[in-house]
């Protein structure tokens, strides 16, 4: 067996669902597009900041020859039903189970360790170099995976594989070992525009790019006040967005349970919303700290939980929201809670208007005041 064949066999033993090998040539085809996205203000700010390092592997790795790309399929349906006891939020599927960064890093490190054992001499082993990365590195995962033959980049900008649709996590290893590379997968969306039509904020541009600022997944991860136009549209999702995946024909019927660490705990990924309003830092870490969706901290998820309570019409949350609007030290949380009172308090408008008037007299923060005023208008 060639070294490549041995690596493929070992990847299967390690529980890697797809593997491919790409050249480490520059991704020059992305250059104009990346600069245009940045100039138009369509980036999220979460991307690697230096465009040249995203395009030219040699900028961050000496003498790159090959990029090994891997994919792991994740579940799309929970094995247990979601209880209907009280109003619950929801994490997008890519945040189910253990943080995928940790899962993929583990597989990549084990694969690297195996490759090193296959060196023909100590000198060769010492000359081989590897740089693993999982979506926080310089390279664009979907572009590497497409070049490595794992799938094609769909209109929604996600990698779509034949076997698993787009419900895959991606990672890669840049190396100075030269391998025979695999054939890229051609574009497979045809004339289908379901994801473009399905996106509630029109964030998708139709050619695999998006205005990330308009993506609901991005909006759930910001730390300030969520703009009004996105609040109803997140529904009860407190992290991420799956809409462009759920409408995709390639994803119909796809649900894989290959990796135990990716299985969701119902009370974690469909959490009760009211208890989220008063979580301590320790409680937050214990309940959500292992999820990819916890990376931005407690505040965005609590803000989103408040919005979700308003969207679900949970009037039983009004006393909790009033307490938060009065006592929370964070203006974003106070202001969002006041706004939610405006949405939920209409049946007893006079009572809740009185509470909001009191909040208005106490509030010092300008943005929170604006939210209180919006709420008062809703109840007037």
In a domain, 378, yes or no: no
Predicted structure pTM score: 0.96
pLDDT tens sequence across 106-162: 999 999 999 999 999 999 999 999 999 999 899 999 999 999 999 999 999 999 999
What does the pLDDT average to over 178-182? Answer: 98
In a domain, 121, yes or no: yes
What does the pLDDT average to over 253-269? Answer: 97
In a domain, 145, yes or no: yes
In a domain, 371, yes or no: no
Q: What is the pLDDT of residue 136?
A: 83
Return the closest-CA partner of residue 47 out of 34, 58, 56.
Answer: 34
Structural domain boundaries enclosing 220 = 1-272
pLDDT tens sequence across 341-352: 999 999 999 999
Catalytic residues: 135
In a domain, 244, yes or no: yes
In a domain, 323, yes or no: no
pLDDT tens sequence across 6-16: 999 999 999 99
Q: Residue 123: how many CB atoms within 10 A of its CB?
A: 8
Q: What is the pLDDT of residue 208?
A: 96
Q: How far apart are CA 19 and CA 160, in angstroms?
A: 14
In a domain, 105, yes or no: yes
Domains identified in the chain, total number:
1
% of the chain exceeding 90 in pLDDT: 100
In a domain, 301, yes or no: no
């Amino acid at each position: 067996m060639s070294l490549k064949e041995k690596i493929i066999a070992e990847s299967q033993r390690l529980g890697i669902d797809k593997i491919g090998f790409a050249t480490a040539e520059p991704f020059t085809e992305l250059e104009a597009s990346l600069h245009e996205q940045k100039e138009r203000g369509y980036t999220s700010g979460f991307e690697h900041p230096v465009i040249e390092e995203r395009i030219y592997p040699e900028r961050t790795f000496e003498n790159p020859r090959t990029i090994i790309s891997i994919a792991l399929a994740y579940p799309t349906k929970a094995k247990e039903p979601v209880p209907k006891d009280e109003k619950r939020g929801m994490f997008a599927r890519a945040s189910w189970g253990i943080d995928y960064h940790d899962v993929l890093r583990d597989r990549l490190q084990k694969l690297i360790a195996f490759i090193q054992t296959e060196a023909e001499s100590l000198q060769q082993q010492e000359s081989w170099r590897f740089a693993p990365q999982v979506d926080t590195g310089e390279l664009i995962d979907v572009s590497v995976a497409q070049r490595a033959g794992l799938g094609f980049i769909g209109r929604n900008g996600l990698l779509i594989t034949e076997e698993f649709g787009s419900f895959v996590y991606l990672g890669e290893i840049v190396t100075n070992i030269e391998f025979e590379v695999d054939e890229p997968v051609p574009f497979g969306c045809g004339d289908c525009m379901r994801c473009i039509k399905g996106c509630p904020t029109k964030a998708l541009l139709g050619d695999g790019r998006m205005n990330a600022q308009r993506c609901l997944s991005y909006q759930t991860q910001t730390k300030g006040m969520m703009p009004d136009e996105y609040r109803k549209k997140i529904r009860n999702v407190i992290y991420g967005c799956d809409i462009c995946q759920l409408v995709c024909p390639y994803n119909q019927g796809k649900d894989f349970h290959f990796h135990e660490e990716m299985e969701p705990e119902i009370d974690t990924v469909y959490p009760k919303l009211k208890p989220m309003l008063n979580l301590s830092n320790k409680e937050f870490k214990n309940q959500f700290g292992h999820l990819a969706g916890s990376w931005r901290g407690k505040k965005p998820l609590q803000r989103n939980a408040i919005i979700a309570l308003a969207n679900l019409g949970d009037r039983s949350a009004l006393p909790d929201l009033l307490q938060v609007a009065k006592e929370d030290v964070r203006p974003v949380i106070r202001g969002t809670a006041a706004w939610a009172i405006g949405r939920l308090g209409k049946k007893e408008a006079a009572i809740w208007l009185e509470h909001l008037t009191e909040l208005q007299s106490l509030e010092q923060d300008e943005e929170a005041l604006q939210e209180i005023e919006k709420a008062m208008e809703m109840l007037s």
